[in-house]
Amino acid sequence: MTAVPVVTIDGPSGTGKGTIAELLAKRLGWHCLDSGALYRALGLAAQRRGIDLDAAEPLARLAAGLRLEFRDARVLLDGADVSALIRTETAGGAASRVAAHAAVREVLLDWQRAAACPPGLVADGRDMGSVVFPDAPVKVFLTASPEERAARRYKQLKDKGMDVSLPALVAEIEARDARDRGRAVAPLVAPRGALVVDTTSLAIPEVLDRVLAAVRRVFPG
């Protein structure tokens, strides 16, 4: 599919895949694709325009003309910085709903694959290794218990001064997992041949070391 080396990192929210993808990309000197930000931005754009998140065709048309830029770690939608807005729980839920539509995923597929540029790409998402880059020579799937993932999110939100409920976060995570795993199109699964790492009791450096070791076995340089 591409001559550019690609490493995919998939998994549900809260497993640390975004952090690991960024750290790995920096270590390798490669580009990093945060596909979740793409779906989150699309969900936000739909809500702003009053488009039903369950309406596949209007969402696909919106996706085809989406004015989205990734610039200096910022996400710009229609020229405005939405980096913080797309990281809310509401945006995550919207992303899960718009991502369930085959027409939407088809529109965004080429956009994601175009991110594979020299010298290489670390792609973070839920179907990077199973659908977007099925021929990637290194695939990683991160997992963790819903309780641990909720606790991580709880700390993040509390540190930002937000009033949140830990039981509510656990329920939201479990509901999103069920939706992502059960959708008919590109469900959340561990890609065949992927290195599966349970991050529940692991620190970020430990996870990075395991992933980097797998990458170095394929790309020694």
Report the percent of the chain where pLDDT is more than 90: 76
* Whether pLDDT at 80 is above 80: yes
* Cα 94 to Cα 25: distance, rounded to the nearest angstrom: 27
- Residue 194's pLDDT is 97
Tell me whether residue 142 is exposed, middle or buried, using C-beta atoms within 10 angstroms of its C-beta: 0 to 12, 13 to 18, 19 or more.
buried
- Residue 119's pLDDT is 96
Concatenated DSSP letters of the chain: --SS-EEEEE--TTSSHHHHHHHHHHHHT-EEEEHHHHHHHHHHHHHHHT--TT-HHHHHHHHHT--EEEETTEEEETTEE-TTGGGSHHHHHHHHHHTT-HHHHHHHHHHHHTT--TT-EEEEESSIIIIISTT-SEEEEEE--HHHHHHHHHHHHHHTT----HHHHHHHHHHHHHHHHH-SSS---PPTTPEEEE-TT--HHHHHHHHHHHHHHH---
Mean of the pLDDT values across residues 201-207?
Answer: 97
pLDDT-derived band of residue 2, with 50, 70 and 90 as boundaries? low
Mean of the pLDDT values across residues 172-198?
Answer: 91
pLDDT-derived band of residue 19, with 50, 70 and 90 as boundaries? very high
CB 194 within 8 A of CB 140: yes
CB 38 within 8 A of CB 108: yes
* Cα 95 to Cα 151: distance, rounded to the nearest angstrom: 21
Strand partners, 9: 124, 140
**Tens-digit pLDDT profile for residues 54-76:** 999 999 999 999 999 888 778 99
Contacts of 179 (CB under 8 A, 6+ apart): 96, 97, 100
Report the percent of the chain where pLDDT is more than 70: 99
Lowest mean pLDDT segment, chosen from 138-147, 169-178, 191-200: 169-178
Strand partners, 114: none
- Residue 92's pLDDT is 85
- Residue 65's pLDDT is 93
- Residue 88's pLDDT is 84
Which token pair is 208?
A: 């990075």
Cα angle 198-201-207, degrees, rounded to a multiple of 5: 60
Going along the chain from its start, the domains and CATH numbers come out as 6-216 (3.40.50.300)
Q: Which of 200, 28, 21 is nearest to 124 (CA)?
A: 21
Mean of the pLDDT values across residues 32-51?
Answer: 94
Output the average pLDDT for the chain: 92
- Residue 179's pLDDT is 87
